[in-house]
Each structure stands twice: as C-alpha cells, then as structure tokens.
C-alpha cells in the first residue's frame, strides 16, 4: 500500500518530546468560525485523514448544544466532563527548524548564503518543519479521567463515527486530544525518493510574507506553508498533538498478524515491535541515538496514516480476543523513544 503524504511526514517527524506531527496544521474550514479561530482543543475527538488534517467529530468537554455539535450532533449517552487543569508553555518550541535523521543543517557563519537555511540530505526519505516564531504548548495535567471516559463510551463513539462517515466498517482508530503544540506560522516538507538519496533543501523568507519560509528541494518533494496570518490573531495552527488512540476490536477487518516467539513476554514483545516501527522513522536530529531500521509486517494494512499507538492497540487486541477496546496514550511510545 502506497504511503500517504501524512504517512511519510509522520513516520519521519514523530518526536519524543512533542508528539505526533500534522502535515495540515490548519483547522478544517467546515468547523464553526470560533473553532477555526482557536484551532484544535483539549477534549476533541476525531480522526486524522490521509492528508494529515484532524477531523473533529465532537468535544467531550463541551455541552451538546455547543455550536461545534450543531452539524453532526453528539454520540448516544453523551455527557460533557470537566476539562481539568492544564499546563501552558509560551515558548515550548524555539524558533527554527526540526528535521529527521539524514538531513543536516549547513552552517556558514560570516559567509554569503543563497538562503536563510540550507540543508544537505543524505537519505531517500525525510521530513522538515520550520517554525519562524516557535510554538506554544497546552497539556492536560491529569489525563486519566479522559481514559476512563473513553473506555466507558468507546463503543458509542465508534457507532457515532460510523454514521457520520457513512461507512459499514470503520477500520480506523479515534483520537482523543489531551495536548498540542500550536504555531502562528510554519513551513514543512517531506519526500520519499528510493532512487535518490542525496540533495539539498533551501529555505528563503517570502518577500511578501516574512513570517514564512519558501522551501526549495533539488529532488521531488511535497511542501506546504501556513496561510497569511495576522500577528494579533489567535494561534490556531496545530503542528503536533498528543492524546489517546482508541481502537475497537469488532471494527478491525481481520486479526493482526505479528511474527513473535513464544519465549518472549507480552510486554517485551510489544516494546520490541513498537521500537521496530519507530526505527522506521530513522531517528531525529539532535541527541537521540539512532538504531538500525527494522521492518514490521502486520495485517490488515492500516487505513489511516501510520501511528505508533495503532500498532500497540492492535497488538494488545490480538493477544486478548475477549477485549473489546484498546486505548494507548502517546506518552507511552514517546517514552520508549527517549529510552
């Protein structure tokens, strides 16, 4: 199955400190205007489409008569809950680039340069994100209440999602947002060229909008940048998210097929398989150590963009045929990457 744009971007730019990256940080234009102004919010439940945009179905912290719920309604037995305390960081990500392993920033101090940023690429696949003014973060301090609500209501949420998307079988997982990183402006790109492993990436400030960089690649690549923004407006562009991935066993088309040995404990196997998937990302820039890449085969192929928590959920459901729901928070695979 061919990787989607979000697959390539997410596999290469998932970060142990920031979470899961969105190739389309802007809020959907079908949302109410106030929601578009603010962007994703804690308590949002939805899915990530193949383009890398978050489709909000409902929010568990808002009442059923909230404008967000006017067009789609809310699931059966819906009851809003208190959001809880949050942690806000104003400069959570410093201004500058974030890029995957195999991309090296070329430093040329006191020398004329053809662009504001210049990078050498020595890998066939990679991703890059530039945040001209950094990013802020919001994180739910005690997400366990959200887990309990999700466990209790997962089946109703899935039936609701199935009706909203007009499908008989929803072979995907739902996302419950507990944190995010937002930026005023951004530029990003990704590439996957098996025949070409070398090239350059240039980033120049746009003359008409100095708050974004125009990316130039010497090889085929996908690239995007934020729309023109108002400095006085809300910060509504979500570049990374964290939360719970929720999978219901009855909605999986076929059992997961994983190659494991009987001598391994379930937890050891789970950690090994997850690390194998994460190694496909081929690491990150900075201090994170790089391990050899390992491929993992599973069936069926994921219909949604690749996400480590989906691997964990499907593995857990395959080991316990009586389980109906599996829920994993992004912090679990993020901590594994740090280790």
DSSP three-state, residue 40:
coil
Q: Residue 223: exposed, middle, or buried by beta-carbon count in 10 A (0-12, 13-18, 19+)? A: middle
How much is the average pLDDT of 6-20?
94
d(CA 199, CA 209): 27
In 3D, which of 80, 77, 82, 81 has the Cα closest to residue 156? Answer: 77
In 3-state terms, the chain is what percent helix, strand and coil (to 5)? 25, 30, 50
* H or E segment and range at residue 327: strand 325-329
Torsion of CA 290, 295, 299, 305, to 10 degrees: 40
Residue 133 φ then ψ, to 5° = -125, 25
Residue 209: pLDDT over 60: yes
pLDDT of residue 290: 34
How much is the average pLDDT of 167-186?
88
CB 191 within 8 A of CB 126: yes
What's the sign of the alpha-carbon dihedral 16, 17, 19, 23?
Answer: negative
Report CA Rg, the chain.
20
Helix-then-strand count for the chain, H and E = 6, 16
Domain boundaries, the chain: 5-246
d(CA 293, CA 282): 7
- Cis (ω within 30 of 0) for the bond into 300? yes
Give the pLDDT confidence of 215-260 residue by residue, as tens digits: 999 999 999 999 886 565 679 999 999 999 999 987 655 444 343 3
Bridge-partner residues for 217, per DSSP? Answer: 201
pLDDT of residue 132: 94
* DSSP state at residue 129: E
- Mean predicted lDDT score pLDDT of the chain: 84
| CA–CA distances in Å: residue 218 to residues 65, 243, 318 | 51, 36, 44
Tokens of 221: 């690549």
Query: Diameter of the chain by CA atoms?
Result: 65
> 73-77, 191-195, 329-333: which range is least confident on average?
191-195
Give the pLDDT confidence of 304-334 residue by residue, as tens digits: 788 999 999 989 998 888 899 999 999 999 9
CA 291 to chain centre: 22
d(CA 167, CA 177): 23
Alpha-helical (H) ranges within the chain are: 5-13, 33-38, 144-165, 266-279, 308-319, 330-338
């Amino acid at each position: 199955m061919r990787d989607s744009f979000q697959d390539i971007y997410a596999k290469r730019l998932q970060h142990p400190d920031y979470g899961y990256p969105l190739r389309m940080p802007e809020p959907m234009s079908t949302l109410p205007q106030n929601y578009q102004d603010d962007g994703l919010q804690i308590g949002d439940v939805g899915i990530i489409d193949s383009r890398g945009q978050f489709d909000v179905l409902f929010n568990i912290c808002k009442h059923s008569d909230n404008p967000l719920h006017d067009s789609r309604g809310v699931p059966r037995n819906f009851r809003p809950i208190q959001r809880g305390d949050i942690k806000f960081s104003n400069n959570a990500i410093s201004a500058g680039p974030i890029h995957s392993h195999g991309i090296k920033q070329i430093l040329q101090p006191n020398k004329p340069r053809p662009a504001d940023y210049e990078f050498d690429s020595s890998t066939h696949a990679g991703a890059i994100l530039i945040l001209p003014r950094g990013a802020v973060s919001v994180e739910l301090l005690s997400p366990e209440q959200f887990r309990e609500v999700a466990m209790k209501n997962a089946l109703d949420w899935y039936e609701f999602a199935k009706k909203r998307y007009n499908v008989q079988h929803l072979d995907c997982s739902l996302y419950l947002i507990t944190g995010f990183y937002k930026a005023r402006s951004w530029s990003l790109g990704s590439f996957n060229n098996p025949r070409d492993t070398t090239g350059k990436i240039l980033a120049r400030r746009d003359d008409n909008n100095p708050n974004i960089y125009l990316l130039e690649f010497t090889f085929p690549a996908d690239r995007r940048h934020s729309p023109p923004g108002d400095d006085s407006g809300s910060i509504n562009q979500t570049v990374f998210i964290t939360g719970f991935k929720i999978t219901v066993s009855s909605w999986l088309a076929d059992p997961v097929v994983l190659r494991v040995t009987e001598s391994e404990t379930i937890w050891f196997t789970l950690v090994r398989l997850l690390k194998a998937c994460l190694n496909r990302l081929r690491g990150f820039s900075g201090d994170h150590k790089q391990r050899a890449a390992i491929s993992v085969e599973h069936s069926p192929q994921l219909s949604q963009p690749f996400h480590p928590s989906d691997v964990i959920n499907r593995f857990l459901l395959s080991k316990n045929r009586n389980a109906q729901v599996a829920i994993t928070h992004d912090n679990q695979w993020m901590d594994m990457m740090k280790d």
